[in-house]
Structure 1
Amino acid sequence: MERILNYTISAADEGMIVLDFLRKQGFSRHILTAMKADREALSLNGQKAGGRTVLSCGDHFRVRLLETVPADGILPTPLNIPVLYEDEDILVVNKPADMPVHPSLGNYTNTLANGVAAYLETKGESCPFRCINRLDRDTSGALILAKNALSAAILSVQMRNRQISRTYLAVVEGIPRQSGTISAPISRAADSVIERRIDFENGESAITHYQLLEVKNNHSLLEIHLETGRTHQIRVHMGYIGHPLPADYLYNPVYGTFKRQPLHSLQLKFCHPITGTPMCLMAPVPEDMSNAF
């Protein structure tokens, strides 16, 4: 796949060299290095350009971004993965519950990566699997995939700078306060490669905000906003305050109403990596959670 980007140079960028302009647009050092192999990568007003070429107001600057990352060998497998939004740069999907994101031991063809590969194949497209916000196997909801290296680089910076707003719905046991903020650092449990725990001495900062929405049968529906994005953050934090998610095989394997941890990535708000347009995408609430209330 290739991505053609066209820019009209503004007065604000008058006199800037091409390399500095590209860095300003979010091109990483890795992308710029990979572009050196493509002699047709840069053109200015229809003529070849180089990294030191000086830009003038009104110039038409064209960039060709070729896929340089080799195929990751993921086997395309048709799966039911609803698409919430798609364009040349991003693909936002509604990940079903009980679906791993990446292939692993015992999960070779049943993952989100397999399903996305099959979906793109039907469109005659192919690109490495670039996941921006990861979700646990049993967590459903909105998830962003980057379709080229530039969108991946820009979205990764947004995620690192906490510029991607994530809203979750969760069902927990018991009835917490009407609202609250949990600030408790999280680290990997010493005897597990998967499990996380609260660790005030060695853990990484983790902050979760929640709002109580509804109560039924001694279970509470919460709206949750993440300020940080640690592995298992919501699951660990809610257990820490005494209101764990039911049916959480790792932290609270109590099954009844739910067969999986009732956690759903409801909404993602971010700026489009290429156009800068504000985006707000929502994933419909799954039946197991909506039926419980």
Structure 2
Amino acid sequence: MDPSAHTPAPLEAAIPFELAGKRLDAVLAQLFPDYSREHLKQWLKDGRVQVNGQVPKKPSEKVLGGEAVTLVPEPKQEVSAEAQLVPLDVVHEDAHVIVLNKPAGLVVHPGAGNPDNTVLNGLLYRWPELEQVPRAGIVHRLDKETTGLMVVAKTLQAQNHLVNQLQQHAVERVYDAIVQGELISGGTVEKNIGRHPKDRKRMAALEVGGKPAVSHYRVVERFRGFTHVKVKLETGRTHQIRVHMASIGYPLLGDPVYGGRLRIPRGMAPEFIDVLRSFKRQALHAGVLSFTHPATGEPVRFKAPMPDDMAAIIDVLRDDLDLAQAESSGEYDEWDYDDGIEVAWVGDDGQELSWE
């Protein structure tokens, strides 16, 4: 393949006079909205921007209006990963974006210990044109054992648009989680997240340092010793939900890194305990994803049902709760927990949850 085909042509624009007095980096963001501010700032530093034929000395320079601007974007880098046939559950596809429902056990991006057979490899196999988009269009990641929705951009413009939305906290991401412990009500966790000071493979909630992180959670259903919650992300730090919930004493069921020892309620039936112990991944599912479509400007929203393994855990916890209530009320002999009981998923205020 001809490498020159990846070199974008220079872009030219004239700075409107009404922008006189504005910072150059802010003006560039208006003139070239298809590129992120971070890319533009880096290209300024790299000398890829000229104003009236001269390379600006600093991004904060004030413009006068009427200047001729030339921008030479960084050449597109080919993705070095190999295209491989990896099954992908496509929830939505159009000319600009792809929405996937990722299963447990599938890594999003190649890395140490996972060199291939990732979502990225599968994307390149099914859409070879994604070789021209950084990271094959991947905008955000999910942990290997986390299931659910993620969006992929099919063009550089769509990718920049979606990355900007993420940075501005304009993308809605709501997760289902099963945590250890009985939460009384919802709340917000606002704790910085960074590398663990002693174990660099883990993340931690930090009093000093790290990056700001905010998670909002609501109680969906409460069981004996466990709670089904929905968590809405305001930021998207590595392992954010897992770290935040563990930091307040409610770690995710099955989390091998932050979960700690499994806490079994007193008197739970052995068959129920076996099911809980056999759940070997964090009980976390990205069930709702909404954003502004990068081409139409319209809001779009997608939902993915809870995977079977998490749904099975919910069923077991409901059965355990019903069995315990029947025993305590003396109705055990008349109760058959195979009949199934419908439980409405409502908030503490008795109203149906708006995040469903």
Residues 1:270 and 2:277 are matched in the alignment? no
1:272 maps to amino acid: H
TM-score by length of 2: 0.63
Q: Distance in 2 between matches of 1:247 and 1:259?
A: 5
Deviations 1:160-214 (A, max 9, x none): 0000011011111111122111112222112333311111122322211111111
Residues 1:205 and 2:212 are matched in the alignment? yes
Deviations 1:91-123 (A, max 9, x none): 1101111111111123122211111112214xx
Of the three residues 217, 221, 224, the one matched with 1:214 is 221
Residues 1:279 and 2:300 are matched in the alignment? yes
Q: Give the direction of change, closer, same or farther, for the CA distance of 1:270–1:78 in structure 2 (3 Å limit).
A: same
Q: Distance in 2 between matches of 1:160 and 1:204?
A: 13
Q: Give the direction of change, closer, same or farther, for the CA distance of 1:218–1:28 in structure 2 (3 Å limit).
A: closer
Q: Give the direction of change, closer, same or farther, for the CA distance of 1:283–1:68 in structure 2 (3 Å limit).
A: farther
Q: Distance in 2 between matches of 1:182 and 1:22?
A: 35
* Structure with greater helix percent: 2
Q: Is the 8 A contact 2:287 2:306 kept in 1?
A: yes
Higher deviation after alignment, 169-178 or 198-207: 198-207
Q: Distance in 1 between matches of 2:130 and 2:216?
A: 39
Match of 2:190 in 1: 183
Match of 2:343 in 1: none
1:23 maps to amino acid: L
2:277 maps to amino acid: G
Deviations 1:118-170 (A, max 9, x none): 2214xx76443122121111111100111111111111111000000110111
Q: How does 1:239-254 map to 2 (within 5 A)?
A: 239-252=246-259, 254=262
Structure of greater Rg: 2
Q: Distance in 2 between matches of 1:77 and 1:252?
A: 33
Please list every run of 5 or more consecutive structure 2 residues that lacks an aligned counterpart in the other structure: 7-15, 20-26, 49-66, 263-275, 315-356
Q: How does 1:125-274 map to 2 (within 5 A)?
A: 126-128=131-133, 129-252=136-259, 254=262, 256-274=277-295
How much is the aligned-residue C-alpha RMSD, in angstroms? 3.1
Aligned pair count reads 252
Match of 1:99 in 2: 106
Match of 1:288 in 2: 309
* Structure with greater strand percent: 1
Please list every run of 5 or more consecutive structure 1 residues that lacks an aligned counterpart in the other structure: 3-12, 35-50, 53-65
Q: Give the direction of change, closer, same or farther, for the CA distance of 1:204–1:23 in structure 2 (3 Å limit).
A: same
Residues 1:23 and 2:44 are matched in the alignment? no
Bigger relative CO (Cα 8 Å, ≥ 6 apart): 1
Q: Distance in 2 between matches of 1:28 and 1:186?
A: 24
